Homo-oligomer: A and B are copies of this chain.
Amino acid sequence: MSDAKQIIEALGIKAKAASRNMRMIETRIKDEALKIAAGLFRSEMTEILAANALDMKAADENNLEAALKDRLALNPERVEAMAQGLEEIAALADPVGAISDLVYRPSGIQVGHMRVPLGVIGIIYESRPNVTADAAALCLKSGNAAILRGGSEAIHSNRAIAIILRRALSEAGVPEDAVQLIDQTDRALVGALLAAEDYVDVIIPRGGKSLVARVSADAKVPVIKHLDGICHVYIDAAADADMAVNIALNAKTHRYGVCNAMETLLVHETSACLLPRIVADLQAKGVEVRGCEKTRIACDGLQVNVASDEDWATEYLAPVLSIRVVASLDAAMDHIAQYSSSHTETIVTADYAAGQRFLREVDSASVMWNASTRFADGFEYGLGAEIGISTDRLHVRGPVGLEGLTTQKWIVLGHGEVRS
């Protein structure tokens, strides 16, 4: 057995044992652990910042690029935000143990569902050290044990944060092995974690596309993952003009680098008269517009570049938008079926039948009617916090909160019934 496999097995055995205990820990104890950890983040801030300084020094030495360094850096405000994040998770309702749909069956037994933790969750993430606290807290509150694998460039910060979390667990009477950090940077450990079917129930990768793709290609353990966010707004023939313009602008320009930003605008040809106004507003905000032939004709006099087939399949994550004029609702849905990453799509329409069809027929994790795609978010949906957004089909789709980190078992309450 390789060293990596042995290290992961040792962590896995401890995580499984902790997870059995975690399943039945009372809500107030889990909340207490989160609040103690928040307090320790504040009282031990000097320690955390000192550890982060080591990572920042190494980042300088390794000429890490500026964007990565910004993600890596901690300061008092960011540590305070981590502490508050834990307190917010402590304030959320505990999904574990909830019983639903308990009904009597003709045999006399009562059958229903009980919500239970998934078990052991592996989180593989990149440079942001705050993920260590966030992800651990969400796993803890949902009754799971977590095995955390952060980026090697954040190892000192992650260690300092994990030590505080484990101290808080221990002080609250929660098994400290409910949170374990893989604290070596050997990449073979990731491979061993992805193969640890006997110890890990699910892997959640958090990071860029290449990390997620690598994890899902290699994992033997089930993965909950987020791939692309190629989101569409479709302005229907019957769209209210001001609403359409507002939603299109918000979906594109509210933030550029986020997965729920619009990347392609589809416009019914009857509504193409709105395009000059939309394009002028977008350009005033510095957005580059690429359009189909009809878009360019509709925007005569404005600078609209030619959109290629590749544009329809691109997640820009930048101030760039592709626009296509379509002949019908069906053509819009065909375009979405072909190019969407099934993340989030919106229709803007006052037409009941068109909205109903779009809601039903578009197969994305979030399907909206007269609202900005930017609402596809755990906080906006009322989950309180999210561990990520799933673009998978099984188990959980869209924003993943505490409930997405649980599953259900069947419970049967009998009175001595046997099968005849």
Q: Does A314 contact B (CB under 8 A)?
A: no
State the number of copies, please.
2
Q: Does A412 contact B (CB under 8 A)?
A: yes
Known A-B contacts A246-B418, A250-B419, A381-B105; the reply to A363 vs B412 at CB < 8 A is no
Please name all residues of chain B whose beta carbon is closer than 8 Å to the beta carbon of A60 when the two chains form the complex.
none
Closest-CB distance, A416 to chain B (whole angstroms): 4
* A395 with B394: CB separation less than 8 A: yes
* B372 with A418: CB separation less than 8 A: yes
Q: How far is the CA of A410 from the CA of B396 in the complex (A)?
A: 10
Known A-B contacts A246-B418, A374-B419, A418-B247; the reply to A360 vs B412 at CB < 8 A is no
* B243 with A97: CB separation less than 8 A: no
* B419 with A24: CB separation less than 8 A: no
Q: How far is the CA of A364 from the CA of B23 in the complex (A)?
A: 12
Contact with B along A386-420 (1 / 0, CB 8 A): 00000011110111000000011111111111110
Q: Does A371 contact B (CB under 8 A)?
A: yes
Q: Does A118 contact B (CB under 8 A)?
A: yes
* B374 with A103: CB separation less than 8 A: no
Contact with B along A214-256 (1 / 0, CB 8 A): 0000000010000000000000000010110011011100100
Q: Does A274 contact B (CB under 8 A)?
A: no
Q: Does A85 contact B (CB under 8 A)?
A: no
Among B367, B371, B394, contact of A222 (Cβ-Cβ < 8 Å):
B394
Known A-B contacts A111-B381, A246-B416; the reply to A376 vs B410 at CB < 8 A is yes
Q: Does A366 contact B (CB under 8 A)?
A: yes
* B367 with A412: CB separation less than 8 A: yes
Among B222, B247, B372, B419, contact of A375 (Cβ-Cβ < 8 Å):
B419
Q: Does A45 contact B (CB under 8 A)?
A: no
| Residues of A contacting B: mostly | mixed
Please name all residues of chain B whose beta carbon is closer than 8 Å to the beta carbon of A361 when the two chains form the complex.
23-24
Q: Does A70 contact B (CB under 8 A)?
A: no
Q: Does A14 contact B (CB under 8 A)?
A: no
Q: Does A380 contact B (CB under 8 A)?
A: yes
Q: Does A339 contact B (CB under 8 A)?
A: no
Known A-B contacts A371-B412, A419-B254; the reply to A380 vs B105 at CB < 8 A is yes
Contact with B along A305-318 (1 / 0, CB 8 A): 00000000000000
Please name all residues of chain B whose beta carbon is closer than 8 Å to the beta carbon of A119 when the two chains form the complex.
363, 393
Q: Does A365 contact B (CB under 8 A)?
A: yes
Q: How far is the CA of A47 from the CA of B399 in the complex (A)?
A: 51
Contact with B along A46-63 (1 / 0, CB 8 A): 000000000000000000
Contact with B along A161-184 (1 / 0, CB 8 A): 000000000000000000000000
A-B pairs, top 10 by smallest CB distance, nearest first, are: A371-B414, A250-B418, A368-B412, A243-B416, A370-B414, A374-B419, A395-B395, A366-B410, A394-B395, A372-B418
Task: Name 28 A/B residue pairs within 8 A (Cβ), A-sorted.
Answer: A23-B361, A23-B363, A24-B357, A24-B361, A103-B382, A105-B380, A105-B381, A107-B380, A114-B360, A202-B394, A254-B419, A364-B409, A366-B410, A366-B411, A367-B409, A368-B412, A368-B413, A370-B413, A370-B415, A371-B414, A371-B418, A372-B418, A374-B418, A375-B417, A381-B410, A397-B407, A397-B408, A397-B410
